[in-house]
Amino acid sequence: MKKGLIGAGAVLLVVVVIGYLAGIAYSRHLFMERLDETLVKISVESGVAVSKQQVSSGFFSTSMRLVAHLDRFDIGGERSELVVPFTARHGIFSTRLDGQLDLEHVAGDAREALFADLLSPGRSAEFTASVSHLSERLKSELRLPQIDRAGDDRLPAMTLHAGVLRLDGVEGDFDLSGEWQSASFITSDAQLQFGPLRFVSRYAGEEDNFHQGDELTLDRAQIQGARSLPVTLERINYHGQTSFAADNLRYTLALSVGDASVYQQRLGSARLSATLDNLDGAASQRLLKGLEQGLSSRRSAAEPFTDWTALVEPHWSDLLTVLAGSPQLTVDELELETSMLEKPIHVEGALNFDGRDIAGLEPDALRAEDGWRPLLSRLYGDFDLDNAPPLVSLIAGVAPDQSSLNITLDNGTLSINEQPWFKLF
């Protein structure tokens, strides 16, 4: 009986070991298969070619180096590459990765890494990640190297402490978050210091139908020009919501600055909430991509770019489709508070574009003597301003004790309290 138990145990152990090794082998196969699918998808959707180099496959781990050629930054015979060497350790239910990331400038046989050579000598950004084979969930963390760099003729002086980026989720439903403890940039003309900074972006949906929520908080930021006093902003908070569908794009934001000062003299605080709506989603997406590609192709031109009509013309039909929905910018609240005023200034209203019968407008109309007037003349708006300071009321052409102003825009004319005040064109 004892021999039977021992034999059964040995058989069970062999089965477990074989199952475990089979699981590891399948895990390795699944990881490589999904990696290839991801690289193909990146190439198709972004046009960025990613290659696998120096691949070394073992039974329990795989090492390689991914190289992404960022051709939009190519200048002459020089190019830029995102280089990601890593090792993947395969488990039955998940694969764990650790590696590095750097941006390399390549000129002939010479290579120069952004982090390891320029910003933080000897150190690249480092990352860890885990991929679940059952849920396909990815959890990753990218740690930026500490930067304490003196300025030179190539780059300004800069510091970056405790920079971390995190990605958590599955395709179509993920969170991107990050934080910086402190950072600074100093040139001969100005210096910027800020931190701590925290942000999170939540995305759910697909490319043609998604919702995205963004939050950012910045405790303190200070900027100072070479011949000016320092301007300090504190308690900066931003919340944004983007809803995208083929027939509509809607964006809302809430932005606040808790305190602003100049050379320790308090100016006040500000708060804004607004909504941009009535935009054709699919046409907006095509238009933005087209304009981005057009600007990118003109960056290397020797002469400065000034012909904006030529930039827009190849995407004219998409522009008209976007405008045909009569986009609207609604300012739900704009509040400015300062100790110099008894009451905070309050503004609300909307700016609209009249998109009716716009389909027949031709791009040549923008090259006429009056330029973009055929489009600008379709803007109209109506805003109410409460608690206007006496000086603002005087500038507006009303009595200084008139603290409530109605500001309208119609056919290029600004009016205040129904009286024409300024003609824009």
pLDDT at residue 270 in the model: 95
pTM attached to this predicted model: 0.84
Residues whose CB is less than 8 angstroms from the CB of residue 44 and which lie 6 or more positions away in sequence, other chains included: none
Please tell me the distance from the alpha carbon of residue 157 to that of residue 155, in angstroms, as a whole number.
Answer: 7
Residue 409 pLDDT exceeds 80: yes
Q: Average pLDDT of 396-416? A: 90
| DSSP-derived pairing of the beta strands 328-337 and 265-279 | antiparallel
Residue that wins the pLDDT comparison between 396 and 198 = 198
Confidence category of residue 94, pLDDT binned at 50, 70, 90: confident
Mean pLDDT of all residues belonging to the chain:
85
pLDDT at residue 77 in the model: 63
Residue that wins the pLDDT comparison between 27 and 340 = 340
Structure tokens at 115: 């982090």
pLDDT at residue 8 in the model: 45
Share of the chain above pLDDT 90, in %: 42
What would the pLDDT profile of 262-311 be if each residue is shown by its tens digit?
A: 988 888 999 999 999 999 988 888 888 888 877 776 655 545 556 777 88
pLDDT at residue 74 in the model: 63
Confidence category of residue 92, pLDDT binned at 50, 70, 90: confident
Residue 140 pLDDT exceeds 80: yes
